[in-house]
Structure 1
Amino acid sequence: MTTDLSAPRSPGGTTTAGKGKRPRPPFGVSAISLIAVLIALFALLPLGYVVYMTITTGWDTAVGLIFRPRVGELLLNTILLIVFTVPLCLVLGVGGAWLVERTKLRGHRVWAVVLAAPLAIPAFVNSYAWVSAVPSLAGLFSGVLIATLSYFPLVYIPAAATLGRLDPAIEQSAASLGLGPWAVFFRVVLPQLRVALSGGALLVSLHLLAEYGAFAMIRFDTFTTAIMVQFQSTFNGSAGNMLASVLVLFCLILLLAEVRSRGTARYARIGSGAQAKAMRLDLGWYQMPGQLFLAALSTLAVGIPLWSVLRWVAAGGTEVWDAAEFVPALLQSLGYGAAGALATIVVGFPMAYLAVRHPSWFSKTLELSNYITSSMPGIVVGLAFVTIGLRVVPGTYQTAGMVIAAYVLLFLPRALVNIRAGLSQAPKELDEAAQALGKSPLTAFVKVTLRLTAPAAAGGAALVFLAIINELTATLLLSPNGTSTLATEFWSKSSEIDYVGAAPYALLMIVLSAPMTYLLFQQSKRVAGQ
C-alpha cells in the first residue's frame, strides 16, 4: 500500500483531509438526507390537506362553494386590503428608512429603533387599543389603518438595512453627471431596493391574509375571519375548507408574483477596494417636517397603543393583576414558546446542514418546501392538523404535541435562516482538522460545528419564541381544553369587551416582544452586511 507523502500529517502521523474534501457528517449524508426528506414531507402536510379536501369534497360541490357571492365578497375585501395597505407600507417604510439612513436627521439612531418598535405590538393588540380608543372603527379603511401601522416595519427594516450597505459610488457618479438628489434617489437608489421592497411587500401581504384577531375586532370580513366562523359553526365543514383552498391559492400566487418581481438583475459591488461611506443629505428646512412626520407615525403606531393599554391597566388598579389568572397564562406561554423554539431549531438543523455543507438542487428543493408552508396562514395549518388529529392519528387532536408541531411548521423558516447563517460561519475545515486529529464525526460536530453555530441558532430560537408568544389562530384551533396563553386569554377577555381584564395580557405580550424585536432589527443589519 502506497502513502501520499505530499498530504499534510497530524502530529500523531494521521494524514489530514485533503484540500476540498468535505468532513464526514455525524450520521452520514444519507441519514441526514432521509431526515430532511421526512421534514419536507411533514412541512407539506397543510398543502396536502388542502388538495385532499378539495378532491374529497367533489368537483360539483367544490365549484358551488367556491363560486358563490360570499367568496366574491371576501375576495374583493382581500384585494382592496392589499391594494391600499401594501403601497402605504412601502411609502412609509422606504420614507422612514431613507430619512434614517441617508439624511442628516437629528437623532437618526433613536428613530432607527423607534420605527421598528411597532413589530413588538401584535396586530390584534393594536386593533384592541384603537377600538377601545375609537369604538366606531370598523370596515375596510379601519383595517387598512391598523394593518399599515402594524406592518410597515416589515418594509422599513429590510429597506433600512439595504440602504445602510449600498455602495454610494454609483450615486456619486450620477450626481457628478448633473442629477439632483430626487433624480438620484428614484433613478439610482430605488432600483437597488427592488429585492428588499418585493420581499417586504410579500411579507405584508401574507400577514394580511393570515391575520384574524385584528380584523375580527373591527368587524371586517376576510378569508381568515370567515374560515374561523365556519369552523366554529360547522367544525371543519366543507364550506370552510373550500375557503381555505382559495386562501392558499391566493398565497401561492403572491409567492410567484414576488419571485417574478425580483427580476434577474444583481445589485452587488464587485470592484476592489474599500466601500466608501455614504454621504448624508442635509435636510435644511426639511429637518422639522421630517421630525414631525416620524413623530406622528410613531405616535400612531406605538404611542396610541401603549397609551391605551396602560390606560386600561391603570383603570383596573391592582385588582386586575390577579395572579391566579395571568400567572398560569404567562407560564404556559413561556412553556410553549420555549418548547416550540427548541423543537424548531432541532428540526431545522438537518435541513440547514444539508443546504450549507452539501448544496444541490435536491437540498434547495427540500428547503423550499418549508418556505411554501410558512407562507400559509395559521388557520390553514390549524385546520390541517385538526383533520390529521381526527381522521389520521386519532387522539392527537388538542394535545400539546400537536400545538408545538403546528408552531414548527409555521415558524421553521425563521430558524432555518439563522442556522444557515451560523453554519456558513463554521468552516468545514475545522471539522476536517478535528476528525484528522482522531475525533469521531459526532464529537467533531458537537465540539466544533455545533459550538460555532450555537449563537446563530439561539438568535433563531429567540425569533421563533417571539412568534409563538403572539400566535393566536392556530393556538385557538389546536390547544387542549383548559389551555390559557397570553394571546388566548387576551382574546377571550377582549372579545367580551372586558378591556380592563385584557390589558395586563396585552402589556405582558408587548414587554416580552420588545427585546426580540430589537434582536430582529440588529440581525437585519448584520445580514445586510454579509
Structure 2
Amino acid sequence: MTSTDPVAPADPAAAPAGAAVPAGRRRAGRRPPAALLVPAGLAALFALLPLGYLAVRSLERGPSFAWEVVADGRTVELLGRSVGLAATVVAASLVLGVSLAWLTVRSRLPGARAWSVLMTLPLAVPSYVAAFTWLSAFPALAGFGGAAVALTLVSFPYVYLPVTAALRGADPAQEEVSRSLGHGPLRTFLGVTLPQVRPAAAGGAVLVALYVFSDFGAVSLMRYDTFTRGIYTSYRASFDRTPAAALSVVLVAVTVLLVAAEARTRGRAGHARTGTGTARPAVPAPLGRWRLPALTWCTLVTAAAVVMPLATLGYWLAVGNSATWDPATLADTAGTTLGAAAAGAALTTLLALPVGVIAARHRGRTAHLLEQSAYAGHALPGITVALSLVFFAVRYAEPVYQELPLLICAYAVLFLPVAVAATRAAVLQSPPVLEDVARSLGRSPLRVLREVTLPLAAPGVAAGAALTFVLCMKELPATLLLRPTGMDTLASRLWTETGTGSFAAAAPYAAALILLAAIPSYLLGRHRT
C-alpha cells in the first residue's frame, strides 16, 4: 500500500502487525548522515568517471562539431531504432516478469518452486549466446525481431526477481479485503496487487532498458544497428574519438531521463511493514480452468529462454568437427573468469551499499543526484567505459594499466545500478521504524546501518551481488579491451571463436559460461522460493 502520511508511528507496537509504514517521505528534507554521504559521493564520482572522458573527447573539436554529430540524420535514426528496441523489450519483459511472478508466488501453480528456479536461469545466458543460438536455428530472425527476442529472453528476470520479492513482502490482507468486498481476481490484481509491486516492476524495467541500450553482442550478431553498434563502428573506423564520444553523450542523456521517469513512477512513499517474518503468508489463488494455460505459458517461456540455447549448444558440441579444445585451457579460463567476476561483484556491492540506503531512506535533490549518478555508467557501451578507464590510467594511474584491477573497476562502473537497485528495494522492504528506535537508544547512524539496516536488507543485497556476479561473467566489450595481456575469460574466448566462424569450437566455452553462471542463478531462484 502507498501511504501519503509523512508521520510514522513512534513505537513499533503502535502499528498493527503487517501494516504498511511510510519509508520515504518521512525523511524528506533530512540530510543523509556523513557516514553514508561520503562513501556514496565517492561511489557516484567513480561512476561518473566515464563522463569526464566523454566531456573531454566530445568537446575536443568544439561544441559546434559535437552538435553536428548529435543532430545528424544518422544519429536521429540510431536513436529511434534504439528507443524502439528498448521499448519493445521492456514491454515484453514486464508482461513476462509480472505474470510469471504472480503465477509462481500468488497462485496454486503446480511445481511453483521449480518454476521459480527455472525463471532465473536465463540470467546465465549471455545476450550474444542467445542471439547466436536463435540465429543459427532461424536465420530469418536477423534484424529487429531477432534482437528483440534474444534480449527479451535474457532480460525478463530483471523484472521477475524484484516483483517476486515485492509480492512475498506485501501484506496479503489487502487483497483479502478487496476480495471480501466482492471484487474479482482481475480487479483485485489491478487495484491492489499491481500498485504494491509497481516500484519493483519500474525498477526492473529501467534495468532492462539500460541493458538494451548498452548491449553490443546481440545487436551485432543480429546485424541490427543501434547506438552501441554505431559507436563501436565509429571507434573502429577512425582514430578520431570525437564522433563516438558525442554519440555516447546522447546515451547518457537517455539514461538520466529513464531514471527520472522511474523515480516519478516509484512515487515518494515506500512499501514496508512492521512485522516482517511474522505476517501471514498469502493464500494462493486457485487457477481453475486457467491451470493448463498457466502451465503452458511457463513451459513456453522456459523452452525459449533455457532449453533452446542449451539444445543448440549441445548440437554444436555433438556434431562440430572443429570442436577441438584443451580441457586444461578451458579449466584455467573458467577459473580466471570466476576470480574476476567475484572481485567485480564485491567491489560493486561495496560501492552500492551507501547509495542504495540513501535512495531508499532519504528524499531530496542529493539522494536523487546520487542515485542518477550511479546509473550513468550502465547506459554507456562497455567499449566507452573501457576507453575512459584507459584514458584515466595512462595519465593518472599507469601502474594499473593493462592490469586486472582496471577491468574490475570497469565491471563496477557498468553494473553499479544492479546492486543499487537491489539494495534500495531490500531497504524499502525493511521497516524504518526499527532504525528510529535504534537511534532513540543512542546508536550512531553508522552503528544503526551495521546492526539494523544491513541485517534486515542482507537477503536483497546478496541477491544483487549474485546478479552482479553473473553480469561480470558475461560482460564482453570492456573485457576484450581491458583484460591483461595473455588473460582470457570465457566470454572473450567465445567471442574470438565466434568471430572466426568456429561455432563448434566456441561451444565448449559457451557451455561452460552458461553452466557457471547458472549456479548463482539457481541459488538465487531457490532463495526467492
- TM-score norm. by structure 1 comes to 0.79
Change (3 A) 1:397 1:242: farther
Within a 5 Å distance, the mapping from 1:117-516 to structure 2 comes to 117-235=121-239, 237-269=241-273, 275-316=279-320, 320-323=324-327, 325-344=329-348, 351=354, 364=367, 368=371, 371-377=374-380, 378-391=382-395, 393=397, 397-412=401-416, 462-516=466-520
Q: Distance in 2 between matches of 1:155 and 1:461?
A: 16
Contact 2:113 2:526 in 1 (8 A): no
Matched, 1:103 2:119: no
Residue identity matched to 1:226: G
Query: Cα offset for 1:208?
Result: 0.4
Change (3 A) 1:265 1:400: closer
Q: Distance in 2 between matches of 1:408 and 1:419?
A: 15
Q: Distance in 1 between matches of 2:516 and 2:181?
A: 50
SS of alignment partner, residue 77 of structure 1: helix
Query: Cα offset for 1:339?
Result: 3.6
Residue range with higher mean Cα deviation, 97-106 or 515-524: 515-524
What is the aligned residue count?
489
Which segments of 5 or more consecutive residues in structure 2 lack a partner in the other structure? 1-32
SS of alignment partner, residue 105 of structure 1: coil
Structure number with greater Rg is 1
Out of 59, 70, 76, which is 1:66 matched to?
Answer: 70
Contact 1:102 1:281 in 2 (8 A): yes
The residue that corresponds to 1:13 in the other structure is: none
Residue identity matched to 2:131: S
Q: Distance in 2 between matches of 1:139 and 1:39?
A: 37
Q: Distance in 2 between matches of 1:482 and 1:452?
A: 41
Query: Cα offset for 1:42?
Result: 2.6
Matched, 1:115 2:125: no
Query: Cα offset for 1:453?
Result: 11
Change (3 A) 1:162 1:69: same
Which segments of 5 or more consecutive residues in structure 1 lack a partner in the other structure? 1-28, 436-443, 526-530
Contact 2:85 2:148 in 1 (8 A): yes
Query: Cα offset for 1:33?
Result: 7.0
Residue range with higher mean Cα deviation, 86-95 or 388-397: 388-397
Percent pairwise identity: 36
Residue range with higher mean Cα deviation, 301-310 or 177-186: 177-186
Q: Deviations over 1:211-256 (max 9, x none)?
A: 1101101101111111112222224621111111111111111111
Change (3 A) 1:365 1:146: closer
SS of alignment partner, residue 286 of structure 2: coil
Q: Distance in 2 between matches of 1:260 and 1:168?
A: 26
Change (3 A) 1:173 1:123: same
Residue identity matched to 1:144: A
Query: Cα offset for 1:414?
Result: 5.2
SS of alignment partner, residue 59 of structure 2: helix
Q: Distance in 2 between matches of 1:343 and 1:189?
A: 35
Residue range with higher mean Cα deviation, 317-326 or 197-206: 317-326
Matched, 1:56 2:57: no
Q: Distance in 1 between matches of 2:463 and 2:239?
A: 38
- TM-score norm. by structure 2 comes to 0.80
* RMSD across aligned positions (CA): 4.1
Q: Distance in 2 between matches of 1:400 and 1:429?
A: 44
SS of alignment partner, residue 281 of structure 1: coil
